[in-house]
Amino acid sequence: MAEKIKDLLSSGNPLALAYLGDAVFELAIRNEMIRRGHIKLHDLNCQTVRYVSADAQAKAVVFLTPILSEEEMEWIRRGRNVKSKHSARGSSIIEYRYATALETLMGFLYLQERQVRIQELVQYLIQGTETAAL
């Protein structure tokens, strides 16, 4: 298993990282929503969807950019620039590429066992969007 993870990271396949990162990001968002006291199922779902749609993820990349390291920005660029035959329903190709970029970063961080960094980014994102909504 560890060898396959090393192979994935060394190959730098952004789509495979994005595939994994999609689940990692949604789980991190769900976890944070519960931590913040959203316990009703409908409320949890509504709050989670605010962050995991392609357009929300694209906005998240822009919002998170100032606090990302050079290494993290490199994974954002790799994910954004990857060519895919698919796109999200209801989102532009630009939004889809930025969403893929965020998912690629999340997949990379997860495989690097940097869950604390994932949590920091998610908390920063949620805090920033809650503050902006006030």
Would you name the residues annotated as active-site residues?
A: 22
d(CA 69, CA 92): 27
CA angle 85, 88, 93 (to 5 degrees): 65
Q: For residue 53, give both structure tokens.
A: 């749609």
d(CA 112, CA 56): 25
d(CA 134, CA 68): 25
- Torsion sign (Cα): 103, 109, 113, 115: negative
Q: Where are the alpha helices (DSSP H) in the chain?
A: 2-11, 14-35, 41-52, 54-64, 70-81, 93-111, 115-133
Q: For residue 68, give both structure tokens.
A: 């990302």
